[in-house]
Amino acid sequence: MPRSGEEARRRLQQAALELYAERGFDRTTTAEIAARAGVTERTFFRHFPDKREVLFGSEATLRADLTRSVAAAPEGLSPLEVLLHAFRKAGHILEGNRPFAEPRLAVIAATPALRERDLAKAAAMADALAAALRARGVGDRLAGLAAQVGWVAFHHAVGAWIADSGRSLDEHLDEAFAELRTLAVEMG
């Protein structure tokens, strides 16, 4: 039996990821996830409301980290610079979790139910970033556009980093934002 709640949580996530990859999301039950993690099903439900959420357990932490970093970013940065600053700060959460991140993305891409949840989480994340930019004085609608565009670039960078382990997430973030800049500047 895992000792701490935090350890049980991590083991449940690992077990779920393995089972989804082995036999598919639809054919995996919460009881099986709990069994593989060496905990009871009741413990599963103490940590996660359903078998989709088990793969999104770090989202709340990431969101809190990101919005805090947006608030604390230096004065004088432009909205996308503020977001890049925040993504670089929060990147360590993903960096420390790389062995989990890669199979997680693969399972989500292959499972419509998880893909829908992932898209909903992404929309909520962009909303939170927009609110954090507004709190810095960025105009209402511009904050919404900046947050969504920034989130797209972040997602793009994470995908590139998963595919290319030779470079750090920071390097991929810088590159994605540079590509974004080039795309926009090329407009006449």
- Are the C-beta atoms of 158 and 139 separated by less than 8 Å? no
Amino acid, single-letter form, for residue 175: E
Rounded to the nearest 5 percent, the helix, strand and coil shares of the chain are 80, 0, 20
Binding test (CB under 8 A) with a copy of itself, winner from 27, 98, 115, 167: 115
Count of Cβ atoms closer than 10 Å to residue 13 Cβ: 22
What's the min distance (Å) between Cβ of 169 and a copy of itself? 16
DSSP 4: S
* Cβ-contact 146, 83 below 8 angstroms: yes
Place of tokens 């989709």: 52
Question: Residue 188 interacts with a copy of itself (CB under 8 A)?
Answer: yes
Considering beta carbons, is residue 8 or 118 the nearer one to a copy of itself? 118
> Per-residue contact track with a copy of itself, 141 to 180, x per CB under 8 A?
xx-xxx-xx--xx-xx---x---------------xx-xx
Closest-CA residue to 68 (of 53, 51, 85, 81): 85
Q: Using CB under 8 A, pick the residue from 6, 38, 71, 78 that binds a copy of itself.
A: 78
Least CB distance from residue 100 to a copy of itself, whole Å?
Answer: 23
* Interacting residue ranges for a copy of itself, rule: CB under 8 A: 78-81, 84, 112, 115-116, 119-120, 122-123, 141-142, 144-146, 148-149, 152-153, 155-156, 160, 176-177, 179-181, 183-188
